Structure 1
Amino acid sequence: MNLNKYVPLALLALTLSAGSAFAQVKKKPVPSPKNKPGAPAIAPKSDVLPVDQSVIIGKLPNGLTYYIRANAEPKSRAELYLVNKAGSVLENDDQQGLAHFTEHMAFNGTRDFPKNQMVDYLQKAGVKFGADLNAYTSFNETVFQLPLPTDTASVFEKGFNILANWAGYVSFDPSEIDKERGVVLEEERLRGKNAQERIQQQTLPVLLNNSRYALRLPIGKEDILKNFKPETIKAFYQDWYRPDLQAVIAVGDFDPKRVEALIKQNFSQLKNPAAEKPRTKYSVPATPGTAVKIVTDPEYPYTIAQIIVKHPGTVTKTTGDYMQQVRVQLFNQMLNARLNELLQRPNPPFLYGRTSYGNFIGDQDAYTSLVVAKPGELEKAVKAVVAESERARKFGFTLTELERAKQDALVGIGNAYRERDKTPSANFVREYQANFLTGEAIPGINFEYNFYIGNIYKVSLADMNAMAGKFISDQNRVVIVQAPDKEKANLPDDKTLLNWIATGGQNVTAYVDNVSSEPLLAKIPEGSKVAKQDTDAAIGTTTLTLGNGLKVILKPTDYRNDQILISGYAFGGTSLASDDEFTSANLASSIISGSGIAQFNQGMLDKKLAGKNLSISPYISEFAQGISGNTSPADFETALQLIYLYFTQPRKDKDIWDANMEQTRAVLANRGLDPGSVYQDTVSAVLSNYNFRGMVTTIPRLNAATLDKAYDFYKKRFADASAFTFTLVGNFDVETVKPYLEHYLGGLPSTNSKETYKNMNIQPAAGVITKTVNKGVGDKSTVQLVFSGHYEYNEANNIQVDALEEVLNIKLIERLREQESGVYAPGVRASYRKIPGARYSFTISFGCAPENVDKLINATMEEIGKIKQNGALPADIQKFVAEEARSTQQQLKQNVFWTGYLASSSQNGENPDQILAHVNSLEQITPQTTKDAANKYLSGKNLIKLILMPEKK
């Protein structure tokens, strides 16, 4: 169920401003390991927070600010950012959309990089357009990101020249402007022309009180984007892209002094305009009382209510501000834990509910309650979410709730502190960007960790119990309801809706915190000893075979200080379920993982695990069942206990089953209203050759499913551990963890059943198929072209498929985006598998105007034809090889990569050592091999065209 597409209108608005409606305490920055924490020394409440000494902050004579920090994670890489205090709120009436258009033009020609030379240069250096090289425009800022290697001095140093070109030397070639108009309009079409956009147009003026923010959405106005003159966009650039409104942020594995010299060398020549325009700071005026807006749309699939109480904005600058930020984090955590408990009831009052205090748009904070109602049950949902705020206001929180929240907060800050020398550079960039744009303090992890340790236990229950009363108000409040047209008869008028809110908490009683003092596991299992131990020195792994037959692949690393990743699998999965039991079997793992274990229901289990840094979940896929999760070294034994209990004492919870069934039925009820869902359901049906196992479930199949069938299937799949293989990657010592593995994994049941998966042949039909879906009133289309077939799975073929995928990506961006100006983001996704049957697929996808569908499909086939005729250009192969080599070097230093890779190698029966030769293997790629691959995999013999078109008028 993907509610994120529709849920938070307020959150959508905030996404445009790069904010967060539900902001918690910010992610902690991490300083250099040389800075060791001292004893907590917290300043008085009014003291300004210190600045982390590990960052160099300077300002050039022209006013440009810079932030420089040496950081070795990832090694031989750097993050370079250009931050401009220039966003859509600064646009004149005739410039609406041109802040965003300016961002696009920065990639389409500058003084030193005409036309597309910049992108071409960076791709050859291993920087991927769209994934690595990117930018965004919001209400108040435009930000460019440029991740670069630092082990090639010429490329790294050129990066500062590129940033300077963006900052002051964009060309605005009229011909390039005209070509980019179509791309920007297609971006607007991709993100809009739908129910969400139509609802947003009606609700944002109310939400933002007709302020400048409501009138200056970054995407702009279509007629202006089509017709503006080059001098109009140049005027915006000249007015607002100026050194005194810009910052350069450089964080990475480099010499800070050399970087400072490069910044001075490249940016000192930039000049501010002779007659500077004042940079107006816009705000959203307060709304007396409550504004209500109820909106419906024929294609909107959910009924959603939002209650937004706006407050003056805050920026964390002092120790008092920081202390309040900590309180807000604890408040949000406790209140939403209560809302989550409601979802575990057999008849939950809503599909989704959340209430939080956090940053909002236009120098505001907001107390936002959001609830997604079941069809026809808006009153119940609104009153339920309001009641929890009222319960907190009237009766406060319990001491046990507060202690759990404090423990979890300490886990978060403790993890950040222990990983202080392993924090990715991008994390620091976000901190410094916020400091430049808003003045948000950057005290560093040493200070923040000590602050938490020294102050969190000073937060009293009285402090927390007073917060809900401060947040709740009927002034400067906006209430929004958005729903399908078909729900109109069930929607209230303004007066009734406000009455629901006013009376929602009338009869609430104090919250009762049900906790258990019983241990997770009363007795440690005896287990079984290691029967066999093998080592692979090449990749640093040890494989243990325990007495019950279970295997454990261990790879100790130092990539993270506080992380161990765990993955376990055995073959079987839902392929072993009969058709009659499939729906129940398909629901089994999600139901069990949400039901708790042994005598603990999920709510009790969550409370039991408070203060622990771990997550363990069972899963059942089409061909396997298993466990996935992560833990800190300190909580490793608890993680193993959870695994043991998910095998031996899964919990059958009828309340969770009933709640899930009811929620799924509610979601399915209106799924057919949304054109995108209808299209994707059709895609799933066609690509599975209408096998119901590969399609979205139906209400009749759901009604035929039972908890007993689901539970029994789960038990069968986890009854025999002898066929399981576990992978552990992270910070541990093999000999130290071995006894724990012997007790808990070695103690799992073993029947030596030797089960494996069945190949259900869920795959596309052979031949050429075209399927067109006519759905939706918006002027937009979606296209997927799927090439597929049988595959010979091996490393040599996999490399050729990967190369062909990236070459096609490059060519289709050049053709469909740059040349045809017909799409915003064409995508090519190649996949291959060995299990359950060796298959490959290439999926080419893009959104476009309905009238351009045939033209763009033909253009796509032409580009494929060129590769089939001549092979890839050497320059494009060079780009792929550079990108693949860079990404492989980074992945080899990541726990998450090794966890997935070792599990995949085990499943496919491959030698994992081959990854060490992967970069050298890229030499196999030539124009001839790409030509051969294109003719083999893109022959067109098995091609499915899936097209979404608007409804015929």
Structure 2
Amino acid sequence: MRKNFSVLSLGLAVIFAVNTPGYAQKKTTVVKKTTTAVAKKVDGDLIPNDPNVKIGKLSNGLTYYIKKNTEPKKRAELYLATRIGSLMEDDNQQGLAHFTEHMAFNGTKDFPKNEMINYLQKAGIRFGADLNAYTSFDHTVYQLPIPTDSSALFKNGFKILANWAGKIIMEGVEIDKERGVIVEEDRERGKNAQDRMSKQLLPLLLKGSRYADRLPIGKIDILNTFTHDKIRNFYKDWYRPNLQAVIAVGDFDVNEVEQLIKANFSGLTNPANPRPRPSYDLPDNKAPLVKIITDPEQQYNVAQIMYKQRGNTTKTAADYKKSIMYNMINSMLGARMQEIMQKENAPFLQGQSGYGAYQGGLVPNINAFQSAAVSKTGATLEKAFTAVLAENERMNKYGFMQSELDVAKKNIAAGNDVRLKEKDKIQSATLVKRYLNNFLTGSIIPSTEVSYELTKKALADISLDQVNALAKTLITKENQIIIVQAPEKEKANLPTEAQLLAALKNAGNNITAYVDNTVDKPLLDKKPVAGKVVAEKKFDKIGVTELTLSNGIKVLLKPTDFKNDQIVFTSFSKGGTSLATDANFKSAEMVSLIPQSGVGAFNPTQLNKLMAGKTGTGGSYVSDLYQGYGGSSTPKDLETAFQMVYTYATNPRKDVELFNKSISDYKVSLENKNSNPESVFSDTVQAVLSSYHKRAMPTTLADLDKISLDEAYNFYKDRFADNSEQTFVIVGNFNIESIKPLLETYIASLPALNKKQNFVDNGINSPKGKVSKTVYKGLEDKAEVQLYIHGDYNYDAQTNIQLNALKAALENKILERLREKESGVYSPRVGLSVAKYPTAHYYFTISFSCATANVEKLIAAALDEVDQIKNNGATVDDISKFKSEEQRQVELSLRDNSFWLNYLTNRLKYGDDLDQILDIKQRLNSVTVETSKATAKKYLNEDNYIRLVLMPQK
């Protein structure tokens, strides 16, 4: 049930962009004049835009980008981008850029009320998952993935974009209904330690700039009280074609799309006296800025330093080469930090340094070299901070080694080769974001071929001296910002401002040059004794071949052309940690630390260096019911991936130092865990759902003291001593005859004892009957609600499709009721999980966050919707939406390697018919209003009902 314990994600949790659905503009007029803008080379240095992208501009100033792309087939990505965000708001409009985005989904001229969403859902486009939008400081973006195999639907996609661009109605009643939704969005995303600390940090991070006063979410008092004219004026002033772009990428005719853009957008006009669009900057600071913040719910002691720098948009080959050198520096410095973190006496729990956009691209053309350190206690934070600074100074003083640069170059070159080979398989969603960045920031959009040649040339030209010279520019004497975030209880132990500045000044004392600990030997000393393919079976309907190997292993092969340079694989056999005894279960749960420690003679750092430039990777896993292998590769490096599988099976690494470090780090994460309300609530959910079974309870500090490396290692070896019942699934661009010799060498040679194995049902089941539990933890007016309706059932494809249809219908009803009607939540979620083993069981979940005063009202409303769907079934519209969405998703999935990998694996695990996917249309057609009603009555029975609520402490 769990255990991934990276200590934390470093970084400041400041919400700079707000995702939601909603936004629009007013009309504008245009005449038609189109241009195809392609950047020209200047002195052979300016990087040209991809000539296959049609870039034009209407006479009203609206820009457009059009690119034909056939991945995925019969699909297109349509974006409307506006260079307008919260920075353009007047003082009494704070939050209305984001509010406008919401209103785009609440009624336009051609799509009143919620007709737009209904229309698109019936066409198979999912609200939120597909149809969406977001608002940032200086831009707002609407995204509409749409099928192209329906001419009417595709044409209406541009009509929808034009409605967002200039035809939002802004009805007063809809504005007032949306206020509560946005207030709840602020509550859901914030009202926690990160939010409170961020509000203290913003005046420092954005000191002297307009950014500090214009968070996209706005001010709650303004959101609750602004008069309707304020948002209408914002829309009228700023939503205009000379600040907008239409981006269309997909499987269509470029000339037709250009005419659709002209037809839909040429009628939009700019205001007679347009307000100038201002741009804002972030001022420099001569002296270091320092801020120390504590909070009762903060879990870790974190110190950060930022060196702000002016940046430029990449335009030339020289800029491009410089960006690659920055990537190399980040990679090499990151590898050094990882190496330190693997040591038992490491001075920090986590440390990282890197150069990039300041605070994730918060302010255009402001970059920063940023470093962070996490310590066990406040008293050790100064030491941890100093250690990270020392690594920066080691880089600054001694530079990197040629061996490190060689590793970085090999990895970049390997990625460059893959991108070139996949040039005709790039997803439209990837391309549309490149063109979006070009419109918003002026970033280059070279063709794949040009990028490949630029990278190849840069790698040949870049020298160690050049990289080390650039590294020396990262640590600056000005524009320094130091931040400490820590638990309230550590306040008295934290370093002072003077101590932090002294650490910054003295970090380079007594440092020596880095020593490379590369192990110079191959992964395998010699190839294993090969086995044989002894049987072959075809599943022609789905293009799958099954091989049986001489050691008993079965391999299912599905060659595809979905990617030119990708192969993915996984395997499984029964057992997992379910076979551990109660006495050694906690050690067995930590079995993941064995493969995480490297393999054979190589620790993780050494293994990464050995694999430099290789695209093949393989590994092992042990879950609760299964153990097996997995990996991915390009065709040329598949042997490497299989070699890694063989090595993880036959030569696992027992590393005392790494194991002790991992356990020590885990203890730190548990020591402060209970200060975080969501962690406490999550532990409660885990305990309740497992009926407090001892094998499913959250790990405690006492548990960690019982964990034995020897027990974990021996359990790992036992699980992989017999591979005779492993089943491999391999999907991707390979030839069956060509792959057989590799399978015989590395998979047919895996050790096999030919024993019959199974997993054990240890009785970890959810409680029967009605259960209610409320956790009181937290400082803010914020509640979390999770409702479960569950039970045992017969697992089969027909039942599951009916359950999925019911889930989709209930999700629509909960969204309409709790968000649209009650205005009490932002993003309510309805989930369905089903499992066949160890016992077949289903869970329906309804979850949301809300104000504490609304908990009972909203739970009652949610359960009322459950009752209504039990009494009446789903509506015809809801069933139509479900069928369309499912069919569209299946169409996409059938050309995806990962889908087939998971599909085949699950069918094999559950003993299902492998051809099951071919009958999906018939199963979809079997869903009706009556079947949904019958399914709801049977499976939404509240006899087994769990209510879990997190409330602020009393």
Task: Report TM bin, short chain.
Answer: over 0.9
Is it true that 1:436 corresponds to 2:469 in the alignment? Answer: no
- Contact 1:16-1:139 at 8 Å conserved across structures: no
> How far 1:5 moved relative to its partner?
7.3
Asked whether the equivalents of residues 635 and 734 of structure 2 are also in contact (C-alpha less than 8 Å), the reply is: yes
Find the counterpart in structure 2 of residue 571 from structure 1.
574
Residue in 1 that maps onto 2:665: 663
Match of 1:30 in 2: none
Q: State whether residues 527 and 748 of structure 1, in contact with CA within 8 Å, keep that contact through their aligned partners in structure 2.
A: no
Q: Who is 2:363 aligned against?
A: 362
SS in 2 for 1:694: coil
Q: Distance in 2 between matches of 1:450 and 1:908?
A: 48
Q: Deviations over 1:570-612 (max 9, x none)?
A: 11001000112111111112x1222111111221111000001
Where does structure 1 lack aligned partners over 5 or more consecutive residues? 19-41
Partner of 1:159: 157
Q: What secondary structure is seen at the aligned counterpart in 2 of 1:693? A: coil
Letter in 1 for 2:464: L
Q: 1:675 aligns with which of 674, 677, 681?
A: 677
In structure 2, what is the equivalent of residue 223 of structure 1? 221
Distance 1:541 1:477 in 2: 58
CA distance in 2, matches of 1:393, 1:585: 43
1: CA distance between counterparts of 2:181 and 2:581? Answer: 49
Structure 1: distance between partners of 2:838 and 2:383 = 46
Offset at residue 693 of structure 1 (A): 2.5
**Equivalent residues in 2 for 1:369-380 (5 A)?**
369-376=371-378, 377-380=380-383
The 5 A counterparts of 1:54-65 are 54-65=52-63
Correspondence 1:406 to 2:404: no
Cα deviation, residue 474, structure 1: 3.0
Are 1:694 and 2:692 matched, yes or no?
no
Deviation at 1:176, TM superposition (A): 0.4
Aligned equivalents of 2:101 and 2:742: distance in 1?
Answer: 54
1:289 aligned residue: 287
The match for 1:924 is: 926
Alpha-carbon separation, structure 1, partners of 2:346 and 2:811: 45
Q: Offset at 1:455?
A: 2.3
Q: Per the alignment, in what secondary structure is the counterpart of residue 546 of structure 2? A: strand
Q: Which amino acid aligns with 2:383?
A: K
Match of 1:382 among 385, 409, 412: 385
Partner of 1:512: 515
TM-score relative to the length of structure 1: 0.96
Are the counterparts in 1 of residues 536 and 547 from structure 2 also a CA contact under 8 Å?
yes
Q: What's the CA shift for 1:617?
A: 2.5
Q: CA deviation at 1:6?
A: 6.2
Deviation at 1:759, TM superposition (A): 1.0
Match of 1:652 in 2: 654
State the match for 2:487 in structure 1. Answer: 484
Instruction: Give yes or no for the alignment of 1:891 onto 2:893.
Output: yes
**Could you tell me which residue of structure 1 aligns to residue 765 of structure 2?**
763
Deviations 1:447-502 (Å, cap 9, x if unpaired)? Answer: 01011112212111111111232110231111010111011111111111111122
Instruction: Tell me the equivalent position of 2:36.
Output: none
Distance 2:722 2:654 in 1: 19
Q: What CA deviation, in whole Å up to 9, does each residue of 1:302-352 have, x standing for no partner?
A: 111110110112211111111111111111111101111111111322222
Determine if the alignment matches structure 1 residue 907 to structure 2 residue 909: yes
Q: Give the 5 Å matches for 1:935-946.
A: 935-946=937-948
Secondary structure (helix, strand or coil) at the match of 2:781 reads coil
How far is the alpha carbon of 1:17 from its aligned partner?
11
User: Within the alignment, does 1:267 sit opposite 2:268 as a pair?
Assistant: no
Q: 1:22 matched to which residue of 2?
A: none
Which of 536, 540, 556 pairs up with 2:559?
A: 556
Gaps of 5+ in 2: 21-39
Match of 1:464 among 452, 467, 472: 467
Q: TM-score, normalised by structure 2?
A: 0.96
Offset at 1:384? 1.4
- 2:113 aligned counterpart, secondary structure: coil
Q: Separation in 2 of the partners of 1:929 and 1:693?
A: 38
Partner of 2:135: 137
Aligned twin of 2:81:
83
User: Aligned partners of 1:527, 1:836: CA distance in 2, in Å?
Assistant: 35
> Residue 692 of structure 1: SS of its match in structure 2?
coil
In the aligned structure 2, how far is the partner of 1:940 from the partner of 1:856? Answer: 17
Corresponding residue to 2:802 among 800, 823, 846: 800
C-alpha contact (below 8 Å) 1:389/1:468 kept by paired residues: no
Aligned to 1:353: 351
Name 1:780's counterpart in structure 2: 782
SS in 1 for 2:370: strand
Task: Please say if residues 43 and 319 of structure 1, whose CA atoms lie closer than 8 Å, have aligned partners that are also in contact.
Answer: no
Partner of 2:875: 873
Does the CA-based 8 Å contact 1:304-1:372 persist in structure 2? yes
- Report deviation, 1:4: 9.0
Equivalent residues of 1:6, 1:302 under 8 A apart: no
Match of 1:622 in 2: 624
Residues 356, 368 of structure 1: 8 Å contact kept = yes
Q: Is the 8 A contact 1:6 1:196 kept in 2?
A: no
Tell me the amino acid that sits aligned with residue 152 of structure 2. Answer: S
User: What is the aligned-residue RMSD (CA, Å)?
Assistant: 1.4
Instruction: Pick from 491, 516, 537 the counterpart of residue 534 of structure 1.
Output: 537
Q: Give the secondary-structure state (helix, strand or coil) at the position aligned to 1:824.
A: coil
In the TM superposition, residue 411 of structure 1 has moved relative to its aligned partner by 1.4
Structure 2 residue aligned with 1:193, among 191, 194, 206? 191
CA deviations on 1:176-234 (whole Å, 9 max, x unpaired) are 01110011000000011111111011111101113111111100000000011111001
How far does residue 2 in structure 1 lie from its aligned partner after superposition?
Answer: 6.9
Q: 1:266 & 1:3 partners in 2: Cα distance?
A: 50
Aligned AA (2:494): L
The CA deviation string for residues 272-296 of structure 1, in whole angstroms up to 9 with x for no partner, is 0111111101111111120000000
Residue in 1 aligned with 2:330?
332
Separation in 2, partners of 1:326, 1:668: 39
SS of corresponding position for 2:212: helix
Matched residues in 1 for 2:540 and 2:122: separation? 34
Alignment partner of 1:279 is 2:277: yes
- What's the offset of the Cα at 1:763? 2.0
User: In the aligned structure 2, how far is the partner of 1:98 from the partner of 1:15?
Assistant: 13
Q: How many residues align?
A: 927
Alignment of 1:499 with 2:502, yes or no, is yes
Give yes or no for contact 2:401–2:464 (8 Å, CA) kept in 1.
yes
Cα separation, partners in 2 of 1:62 and 1:555, compared to 1, 3 Å: same
For 1:175, the aligned partner's letter is V
Percentage of matched positions with identical amino acids? 50
Aligned equivalents of 1:66, 1:636: Cα separation in 2:
42
